[in-house]
Chains A and B, each alone.
Chain A
Amino acid sequence: MVKINGNDCDVSGMTISEYLATTDYDPKIIAVECNEEIVPKAKYDETVIQNGDVIEVVSFVGGG
């Protein structure tokens, strides 16, 4: 099992890209953190989500 934004998700074995494709996140406004490291965008295709990973998708909102 994998924790994503606090929820248990059965996505181990998927890449970050494959997981994001199942969601409504807009890839242009997010950063993905996995086990306390930000995953470089260029590595979304090759980073395979492992059982026990703790992931957070940060989706930015406008204003500043």
Chain B
Amino acid sequence: MESIPTKEEMLQALEERHGKELQSKFNNASVAICGLGGLGSNIAIVLARAGVGKLYLFDFDKVDLSNLNRQQYSVSQLGMYKTDALKENLHQIAPYVNVVTHTVRITENNIKELFDETDIICEAFDRPEEKAMLVNGITENFADKYLVAGSGMAGISSANSIKTRKIAKHFYLCGDETSDVSDGIGLVASRVMVCAAHQAHMVLRIIAEEFEV
């Protein structure tokens, strides 16, 4: 096995793929990911691969067997906090990404304290009540920050129904906006990953100062 590349070698490889100017924007960006399930774990991996400099990971939960159909963890990580497990996985892919973990449940009460240091926030929760709480809380407390949320990626319907929409100046919504996991239609990795990719791609576009969808 080859030894782990140096920071400079990693950067050079990224610059060859993305160009120096874009890579510099990615390197200097910081992104918060709220919820590390099917959406959040996939979003984090995309952003780490792109060379985003700093990722803030938020989740209170542990890796469960029922997560492995769509979330980026392995059987050896069952029972670990998702924050710790994902940090480990991200460092396997991108050893120099700065990962800050918060093993907490985000609520209306602590939301004001958690997002001072980041410009872009991804909503990647599971429950609609928490999605709404985060979207309303972020827009009320941090009007200048960009928020990219996900809603509607359950079931086996066409992947083509998943879209990104710009709802407000700093608020984007990805998903089909209708398929609800509470209808018993399940969640499959491919469709969840399509939605996560929409979210991650919008984040990269915002970092690249391309603000339209």
Contacts and interface: CB of A to CB of B under 8 A. Distances in A.
B139 A38 contact: yes
A58 B126 contact: no
Contacts of B175: 61
Contacts of A58: 135, 151, 167, 173, 177
B136 A31 contact: yes
Contact of B135 (A31, A42, A64): A31
Given A38-B168, A40-B139, A61 B179 contact: yes
A63 B192 contact: yes
Given A61-B154, A63-B181, A31 B125 contact: no
The contact size tier of chain B is: 35 or more
Contacts of B35: 64
A62 B180 contact: yes
In terms of DSSP, what is the predominant structure of the interface of chain A? Answer: mixed
Contacts of B126: 62-64
B156 interface: no
Interface of B: 35, 37-40, 124-129, 131-132, 135-136, 139-140, 149-154, 167-169, 171, 173, 175, 177-182, 187, 192
